[in-house]
């Protein structure tokens, strides 16, 4: 089983992601903003993080940087989940060290593929 941390301020969008991933393969944890997400990530050390863009309390770049600068959690794969669906948005997010990208509206297949690919690339083993 993999532990997934979802950092998302929109409850209805979070529910959709939980419905897509909610099965026996994933244990799901959620945070409603960047500060709470950072605290949970440090405490739980999830296998992967799905992070919304445009969180109310901090920019995606500063939150990502806080993860990447912390030795305890810097290797956790982080996937951007965003409505910013232009090709240049994808390139920008991958360039600043996101490990994957899922555009809204969220496709079940695309989300599963992004999560599985990030876990495989980082050689994360199920616990």
pLDDT at 95 over 90: no
C-alpha 44/C-alpha 121 separation (Å) is 21
Question: Mean pLDDT score of the chain, rounded to an integer?
Answer: 88
Number of folded domains that form the chain: 1
Range of the domain at 85: 2-121
Residue 64 vs residue 124, higher pLDDT: 64
Q: Is the residue at 98 inside a domain? A: yes
pLDDT at 86 over 70: no
Amino acid 119: pLDDT:
93
Q: Is the residue at 50 inside a domain? A: yes
Q: Is the residue at 81 inside a domain? A: yes
- In CATH, what number is assigned to the domain containing residue 87? 3.40.50.2300
Q: Is the residue at 127 inside a domain? A: no
Q: Is 110 left (phi over 0), alpha (psi -120 to 50) or beta?
A: alpha
> Which two three-digit tokens encode residue 7?
């950092």
Q: Is the residue at 126 inside a domain? A: no
Q: Is the residue at 67 inside a domain? A: yes
Nearest CA among 38, 47, 23 for reference residue 70: 38
Q: Is the residue at 114 inside a domain? A: yes
Question: Do residues 6 and 28 touch, judged by C-beta distance below 8 A?
Answer: yes
Amino acid 30: pLDDT:
94
Amino acid 124: pLDDT:
83
Amino acid 59: pLDDT:
87
Tell me: the pLDDT tens digits for 61-80?
A: 899 999 999 999 999 999 99
Residue 18 vs residue 82, higher pLDDT: 18
Q: Is the residue at 99 inside a domain? A: yes
Radius of gyration of the chain, Cα coordinates, nearest whole angstrom: 13
């Amino acid at each position: 089983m993999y532990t997934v941390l979802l950092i998302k301020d929109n409850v209805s969008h979070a529910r959709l992601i939980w419905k897509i991933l909610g099965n026996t393969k994933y244990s799901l944890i959620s945070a409603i903003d960047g500060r709470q997400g950072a605290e949970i990530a440090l405490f739980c050390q999830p296998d992967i993080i799905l992070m919304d863009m445009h969180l109310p309390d901090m920019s995606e770049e500063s939150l990502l940087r806080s993860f990447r600068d912390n030795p305890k959690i810097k290797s956790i794969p982080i996937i951007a989940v965003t409505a910013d669906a232009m090709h240049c948005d994808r390139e920008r997010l991958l360039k600043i060290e996101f490990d994957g990208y899922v555009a809204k509206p969220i496709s079940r297949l695309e989300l599963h593929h992004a999560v599985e690919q990030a876990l495989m690339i980082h050689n994360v083993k199920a616990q």
